[in-house]
Every structure is written in structure tokens, then in C-alpha cells.
Amino acid sequence: MRLGKLNKKKIDVLGVSFDALTMDETVELVQRYISRHVGAHLLGVNADKILAIEKDKRLDKIVHSADIINADGASVILASKVLNTPLPERVAGIDLMQRLLDTAAKNGNSVYFIGARNEVVSEMVKRLIQKYQNLIISGYRDGYFDESCWKDIATKLKKSRTDIVFIGITSPLKEYFIDYLLSEGVPSILMGVGGSFDVLAGKVRRAPVWMQKINLEWLYRVYQEPRRLFMRYFIGNSRFIIKVIRSKFLKNDGNGEDV
């Protein structure tokens, strides 16, 4: 069962209804969902996902039905300011995941991990056990499975009644998977975390703090994986900038949002 959206502070940016929340407010809102023991989709949206939903109707529907939507990208924050609909701050997925782990360890919330290769997720779990003595880990598994396994995974999660499930697989598959789990009645906070497992397992390094602070973490990622990320960031960001400019001009002309 899904409770529905508890937060009423919404800001529309390029057709996506973001929750106008800081990191602290997001963590607090997640606790409200956990206390009600119902399923919820916690979704981070960046420029890449805003572009993706233009062509993927299934993903578009999932994004618009998500229970909590954070701005997970400096470009989204900048766009919100350019369009005079400013969001309070970027809520980066990996930072939010670590805050939720901190809170879970303090509050006795249980967590489950799905994603990455088995050696990566198992190493991450090993490190988290060392870091958080009180963290309740209901289970974990790798992210290499096909759709025929979804039913079995949903059944296991329902039996475990885990509070938060972190899912580290690629988009849009993770959004499709989360949508399925919610349709099967999984009563957990379900959060897609992309490549965060690799970082927390020590397999991939994050950008230096100074690069994070000036919103250049994306450039560091391109430096690490140029072949995979060049098209996404340089070509994709160009498309995103054009979309923001078009929306800005349409607003100025009094014709409403970009379509």
C-alpha cells in the first residue's frame, strides 16, 4: 500500500514536481513514511532523467508518481533559479544515502541492499558493519538478475518488512523495478542510488570536497569514466541547457511551460 505524498511543498521545474526540501527535511520526511509502515519511492532527479522522460513514457509516469522527488544535480538547481522557481538545495543521492544510514543506525531502522556485483555489495556491507555497530541489515544481493526474479525478491522484501531498501542498478531499470515492488505491496522506502555502492565499497573515489562544493563533481566523474559519461554530460547537458532556455523564453512570452 502507498500512503500518498506527505509533503505539500512542491516546486515545478521543467515539468517535474520537486519536493522543496533540504537534506535535513528530506531525512525527516523519510522517517514519517517509515513510521507509517507503507511503501514509498524516494527519487533523485537530475538533468539526465529530465531528458530521459521526454522519450520514455513509462519512466515519465513513474517519475510523476514518485512519493518524494529530490533535485540530485547542480544543473537542476541552477535551472530552477534561472526559471525563477528556486529549489532550496541539491540533495545528492550518495549523501542522502549516507545520512539515511546514519539515521537508521541511531533509530533502529532496518536496511536492505540490492545492486552492483556481488563482490562490491558484499564489501560495502562489510564496511558498513564496521562503521555502524547498531545498523540492522536485513539482507543484500547483487544487481544481476532479470525480470523473472522480481516476484521472488518482492516476496522476500515483504517478509523482511525492511524499512529502507537501497537499489544500486542502472536507470531506467531501477525505476521500473521500484515501481513493480510498490505494486506488489513492498512496505519499504525504496531508493535508487546509482553507483553509490561502488563508492561506499571503496571501488570508486568521489571527487575532492572542494570540487563537490563548487558543483564540479560531474567533471571528476567524466575524468574517471570518459567513455561512458562523455555523451551523458557534455551532449546531454547541452540539450538540457537548450531546454531551460526555451522554457525561460516561453515564460517571458507568457505562453507557459515548455512542452
Dist. CA 231–CA 71, nearest whole Å: 21
187 residue type, one letter = P
Residue whose entry in the numeric block shows the C-alpha cell 509533503: 7
Determine the pLDDT at residue 237: 74
Encode the chain (259 residues) as per-residue pLDDT tens digits: 667 678 778 999 999 999 999 999 999 999 999 999 999 999 999 999 999 999 999 999 999 999 999 999 889 999 999 999 999 999 999 999 999 999 999 999 999 999 999 999 999 999 999 999 899 999 999 999 999 999 999 999 999 999 999 999 999 999 999 999 999 999 999 999 988 999 999 998 776 777 777 666 766 666 677 776 666 667 767 888 899 999 988 876 655 444 3
Dist. CA 176–CA 147, nearest whole Å: 10
Determine the pLDDT at residue 90: 94
CA distances from 171 to 44, 49, 238 (A): 11, 9, 20
The SS3 assignment for 179 reads helix
Q: pTM for the full model?
A: 0.89
Neighbours of 117 (CB within 10 A): 15
Strands 40-45 and 164-168: unpaired
Determine the pLDDT at residue 5: 79
